Chain A
Amino acid sequence: MQSQSQSPPLPGQLRQIGTLFRRELGAIVRTPSGWIIAATVLLVDGLLFNAFAVGTGAKLSSKVVEDFFYFAAGTTMIASVLLAMRLLAEDRASGAMALLLSSPIDEVAIVLGKYLAAWTYLAGLTAISLALPALVMINGKVSFGHVLAGALGLLLLGGATLALGTLASSLARSQLVAGVLGAALVVVLLLAWLLAKVSDPPLKAVLQHLALFDAHFRPLQRGLLRLSDVVFFASVIAFSLGAATRVLGHQRWS
């Protein structure tokens, strides 16, 4: 493709990714909204942890940790969609996208730089929220492996949701539309298991495999680390970001 043939060699592309990564991460953490989003997510995590994960009756500690990851998955996905909807759509609305696309910066660098910045922010949020399951160790018996598997699950689920949101953000002209489109994509993948129930083979198997949460996050939530789940999340991320790059490449022509 033309844009690829004109793109600079790899170290240059990495430099571009690094520049955009710093700029985007700075845009998140240097504004109050980034901190307020983080505080809100952690507050909701904490309340859900106390109200439902720990609950009021006696519960096995591994069940508490499992329930924490269940609820944290919801907040992580919502935060991811909110973060992703502004990644490209905001630049397009403000006119900065035209500047970016007319610059020698490769669209791969644009998408990856922005995506990695949002994912790093999300990873920071996840890391802070892990203090909650770590507290269960005071009175319970929690394996580090279980917490790590759950944290990896949150990172992968958040990464996949973020990538779908980035694709939606690349397609939409406004942040609102990007948010709705991103949420719709995520909901379709969340409810794929329901669709699978009313489908026939071979579509049934495909839809079952596409169930983002039910088929691929639940094992990690329970502490079961499977290569197939990691590969699935990586595939969703790779495909979504690849598609977003192609969409941007198409827009460069317009």
Chain B
Amino acid sequence: MSLTDAPRPTSAARRSILPISLIALGLALWLIGGRVLADSDAGHWVAGLGWLALLASAGHRLRSRAADAGEASARRGLALATAGVVVAQSLWLFGELAGLGGGGDAGGDESARATTLLTVAWVVILAVALPVLLFLERAWQSMPVVHALEPRRMRAAGEAGAVLGLSLISLFALNYAVSQRDIERDLSYFRTTVPGAATTELLQRSEAELEALLFFAPVDHVLAAVEPYFVALAAAQPKLRFRVVDHAREPELARRLKVRGNGWVVVRKVPAATPTAEEPAGLAAGVSATDVAAAKAKADAAAAAVANPGETFEIGEDLERARRNLRKLDGLVHKAVARLAQPARRVALTRGHGERTREGQGQADGLRGLFELLERFAVDHEELGLSDGLGQRVPEGTRAVAILGARSAFLEEEARALLRYVEGGGRLLVLLDPDAQDGLEPLLAGLGLRRLPGVVASERSSMRRRFDASDRTILVSSSYSTHPTVSSASRHAGRVATVLLGAAALEELPAGAPGRLEGGRVAFPLRAPNDAWVDRDADFQRDQDEPQGRVEVMAAVSVPAAARAGDGAGKADGEGRAVIIADGDLVSDDLIANPGNVLLFVDSLRWLIGDEETSSEIESEEDVPVEHRKDADRLWFYGTSFGLPLPLLLCGIWLGRRLRRGRNKA
């Protein structure tokens, strides 16, 4: 008899599907009772019926008569696996009936512990027993002929199920353990900044101890991003300490500090502790000493808050919205610390000569960014004009004077007053426009400089903005010297460059030139690009009489101080300093976003004021917007959409043709 002629197993010889049907029914009833009808009493009854179905399945296995020892062993294995599922369900039922299934909050820690143990127990037993049962059942069903039962196959199936179940439990345990001890690194530009060198140095020099109050709920995503910054800062500088305050728990403190809700940070000087030596009166009335001390500490804190409100800034509670502030957190903290930790520094800004203003005449030439920068470095500013006595002298005590791109003329008296101020040890910053009739020639001559007529232009090192020849006057230069006014820019010269929107050229006057201050030293920290020339006829073309060569666009002048009565109050015992930048737009809103311009301005300010802290860098992760429009940039659109897939598609077509040719040849 051939194999194909062998009789197929009869229906009597086939495995009964009753036990597996009972198991399916039991599990389904368990699910319905435990989940769908969980809120009603019927749920327990339905789950109980499921339990009975599972028990019946196990009983059926054991009750059926086995043909031989192999079958008896297989039946035992199946019954054991079913019993495992029954035990798991029994534990679950016990928990439910004993009232432990609802999370265990009502009964306290003991109940919670019992619930956890019970849950873990039934989940683990079910996770092992169920795969074993399913694998055994599958193997059992696939061997319908009684005498052809393979015990090894049954054993292998049982082992496979157990391995899967145990590996599932192990992987869940591993995942749970890792999630409890998670390690994370934020690699995006949206990350919260780390404490910068400027902030750390500022804290180090601070005489006062500072305290940061983080107004956040105890569990908060934004707090999780903010706290590591303060942990790092407090570790680097013990002069700062911080604590998390929940607005809901300390509304009085929040009110006094004028904090409207969570998501705010207050930096303040540490309030002096009030001695608590006297015996609290509340003790006699039965109030505990701890309560009284806590109340007193709160009262002290509130009183201190009134006297010392500190610097406040908002981060936000919503993580998405807070990201903008998180990435410039170091800048915000630096600003707050600078205001608290160091005395005010004041710069006088000249007025009345068409100087650039905060709002500006157009959107581009405003100085909002510059004023924010000054605020960040705690540099206050005041106005200085003819009515403030500039026609005679710069007022006493003026730390520095700045002329931000004057467009109309200074009186000769004003220019000479400024020159005397520098000579007397004063500090002067001048942003010049080319060909402007600003009347500053006597001042420049006194400093040993001359402004050449015309605008500096370059063919290669210029930016394209208007797409015509006038773009040649938008210079890009990273030709920095080693002078302190450009030390940061010079350090990053490979990555940053200064942009000038129409700059004048400066030239040093010979020593002994009429009007030049004696002993003045002139340095040129920034030079125009090598191919630059001075365009005298404003045609933006280089003519025969406009040679290329070394063109200076910035000068730093040091003059030995010769104190004169009533002329400025700079540092008569030191030297007068002046920085002349031959572009009135250097720090306009149009250009201040450029790091090369900011670094140059900040370093110049530092050199003039003589403070080191402004030179250190603030950690900031300001992103820039990207905008591409299909209609405006077709090359970009088609290049990115089709540039990558097209070569692959061609490769596929070529391969297909080659294969077809090969088949045809064959």
Contact = CB atoms under 8 A, between A and B. Distances in A.
Interface of A: 1-3, 30-36, 38-43, 45-47, 49-50, 54, 56-64, 66, 128-129, 131-132, 135-136, 139-143, 145-146, 148-149, 199-202, 206, 209, 219, 222-228, 231-232, 235, 238-239, 242-243, 246, 249-250, 253-254
Main secondary structure on B side of the interface with A: helix
28 contacts: A30-B655, A31-B655, A31-B659, A32-B655, A35-B648, A36-B648, A39-B649, A46-B640, A46-B645, A58-B626, A59-B627, A61-B626, A63-B623, A66-B188, A128-B648, A131-B644, A139-B628, A140-B624, A140-B626, A145-B188, A202-B119, A202-B123, A209-B175, A225-B186, A226-B183, A239-B164, A250-B139, A253-B153
B232 interface: no
A56 B640 CA distance: 15
A226 B628 CA distance: 32
Interface residues on B, range: 35 or more
Contacts of B138: 250
B629 A56 contact: yes
A60 B626 contact: yes
A190 to B, nearest CB: 18
Interface string B155-175: 011011001100110011011
B321 to A, nearest CB: 14
Most buried by A among B188, B191, B649: B188
Contacts of A136: 626
B152 interface: yes
Given A31-B655, A39-B645, A228-B179, A59 B160 contact: no
A227 B182 contact: yes
Nearest to B640: A46
Contacts of B286: none
A62 B188 contact: yes
B549 interface: no
B94 interface: no
A224 B172 CA distance: 22
B655 A239 contact: no
Given A62-B190, A249-B160, A50 B179 contact: no
Given A149-B188, A250-B138, 11 more contacts: A1-B160, A39-B648, A43-B644, A46-B642, A57-B627, A64-B626, A209-B179, A222-B188, A235-B171, A239-B171, A249-B160
A85 B533 CA distance: 68
A40 B645 CA distance: 7
A225 B441 CA distance: 59
B628 A42 contact: no
A107 B168 CA distance: 20
B346 to A, nearest CB: 35
Interface in B629-654: 629-630, 636-637, 640-646, 648-649, 651-653
A242 B623 contact: no
Interface of B: 35, 38, 103, 119, 123, 135, 138-139, 142, 150, 152-153, 156-157, 159-160, 163-164, 167-168, 171-172, 174-175, 178-179, 182-191, 622-630, 636-637, 640-646, 648-649, 651-653, 655-656, 659
B190 A225 contact: no
A136 B628 CA distance: 10
Given A146-B187, A250-B135, A253-B153, A61 B623 contact: yes
Contact of B183 (A148, A223, A227, A235): A227
A225 B644 CA distance: 28
A135 B640 contact: yes
Contact of B651 (A35, A50, A129, A253): A35
A2 B183 CA distance: 41
Contacts of A32: 652-653, 655-656, 659
A3 B160 CA distance: 11
A62 B189 contact: yes
Given A61-B625, A228-B178, A231-B178, A50 B189 contact: no
A253 B159 CA distance: 14
Contacts of A253: 139, 142, 150, 153, 156
Contact of B624 (A41, A60, A202): A60
B413 to A, nearest CB: 49
Contact of B175 (A64, A231, A250): A231
A58 B644 contact: no
Given A35-B651, A250-B160, A235 B182 contact: no
Contacts of B135: 246, 250
A246 B627 contact: no
A40 B156 CA distance: 44
Nearest to B159: A1
Nearest to B657: A32
Nearest to A140: B626
B445 to A, nearest CB: 44
A75 B175 CA distance: 27
A225 B187 contact: yes
A129 B625 CA distance: 22
